[in-house]
Amino acid sequence: MNRIITIFGALIALNLTPLEAVANEDIDQLRRQLEQLKQDYESRIDALEKRLLKAEQSQQQLKQNVSAEQPVREPQVAPSQPPAQVTAMRGDRSFNPAISLILDGRYSDFSQDPEEYSLPGFQLGGEAGPGEQGFALGHSELVISANADDKFFGRFTAAFDTHEGETEVEVEEAFLETLAIPYGLKLRGGRFYSDIGYLNKQHQHQWDFSDAPLIYRGMFGNHLLDDGVQLSWLAPTDLYLELGSELFAGGRYPIEYSGDSTVPTYTLFAKLGGDVGISQSWQAGLSLIDARVDYSTGSGHGHEDEHGEEEHMSPIYSGDTVTWGLDLVWKWAPGGNNRQRNLVLQYEYFNRDYDGILSAEHEGMTETGSYDGSQSGWYAQAVYQFMPQWRLGLRYDALTSSVNGSSSELIEESGFDSEGHDPWRYSMMTDWSNSEFSQLRLQYGYDKSSPDADDYWILQYILSLGAHGAHRY
Partner 1 sequence: MKGRYLLLMFTLLVPLQLQAALKVFTCEPEWAALAEELGGDSVDVTSATQAMQDPHYIQARPSLIARIHKADLLICTGAGLEAGWLPVLLRKGNNPRILAGKSGHLMATDHVTMKEIPAVVDRSMGDIHARGNPHIQTDPRNIGRVAEVLAERLKMLDSANGEEYQRRYEDFIGRWNAAIEHWEQLASPMTGMPVVVYHRSWIYLQDWLGLKEIATLQPKPGIPPGSRYLADILNRTQGLSGMVIIHSQYQKSKAIKWFSAKSGAPVVLLPTTVGATAEAQDLFSWYEDIITRLLNAHENVNE
**Segment interacting with partner 1, rule: CB under 8 A, options 227-235, 250-258, 316-324, 347-355:** 227-235
Interface pick for partner 1 out of 1, 65, 93, 116 (rule CB under 8 A): 93
Q: What residues between 169 and 208 interact with partner 1 by CB under 8 A?
A: 177, 179-182, 184-186
Region 295-324 residues binding partner 1, contact defined as CB under 8 A = none
Contact pick of 2, 15, 87, 299 for partner 1 (by CB under 8 A): 87
CB of 100 to partner 1, least distance (A): 11
Out of 18, 83, 308, 420, the only residue in the binding site for partner 1 (CB under 8 A) is 83
- Dihedral sign computed on CA atoms, order 11, 15, 21, 24: positive
Q: How far apart are CA 228 and CA 225, in angstroms?
A: 9
Contact mark string toward partner 1, 242..281, x via CB under 8 A: x----------------------------xxxxx--x--x
Position among 29, 96, 237, 408 found at the interface with partner 1 (CB under 8 A): 237
Work out the angle between the directed axes of helices 2-16 and 20-69 (0-180°, nearest 10). Answer: 160
Segment near partner 1 (CB under 8 A), from 39-47, 162-170, 234-242, 256-264? Answer: 234-242
- CB 463, CB 449: distance < 8 Å: no
- Binders of partner 1 in range 378-407 (CB under 8 A): 388-389
Q: What is the phi-psi region of residue 197: left when phi exceeds 0, alpha when psi lies from -120 to 50, beta otherwise? A: left
Q: Which of 28, 42, 46, 92 binds partner 1 (CB under 8 A)?
A: 92
**Minimum Å distance from CB 451 to partner 1?**
41
- Pick 11 or 181: Cβ nearer partner 1: 181
Contact positions with partner 1 (CB under 8 A) in 48-77: 69-74, 76-77
Site string for partner 1, 102-141 (x = CB under 8 A): ----------------------------------------
The minimum distance between CB 350 and partner 1, in angstroms, equals 21
Judged by beta carbon, residue 10 or residue 463, the one nearer partner 1 is 463
Q: Judged by CB, which is closer to partner 1: 164, or 238?
A: 238
Alpha carbon distance 468, 437 (integer Å) = 8
Count of residues interacting with partner 1 (CB under 8 A):
74
Q: Residue 11 or residue 179: which is nearer to partner 1 going by CB?
A: 179
**Residue 314 or 338 with smaller CB distance to partner 1:** 338
Q: Give me the phi and psi of 123, to 5 degrees please.
A: -95, 135
Nearer Cβ to partner 1, position 111 or 340? 340
Interface of this chain with partner 1, residues 23 to 52, rule: CB under 8 A: none
**Contact pattern for partner 1 over residues 340 through 369, marking x by CB under 8 A:** x-----------------------------
User: Please, what is the minimum distance in Å from the beta carbon of residue 435 to partner 1?
Assistant: 5
Query: Of these, 240, 349, 396, 461, which contacts partner 1 (CB under 8 A)?
Result: 240
Q: How far is the CB of 180 from partner 1 (least distance, A)?
A: 4
Q: What mask, x for binding partner 1 by CB under 8 A, covers residues 446 to 465?
A: -------------------x
Among 236, 308, 364, 420, binds partner 1 (CB under 8 A): 236
Distance of CA 271 to the CA centre of its chain: 20
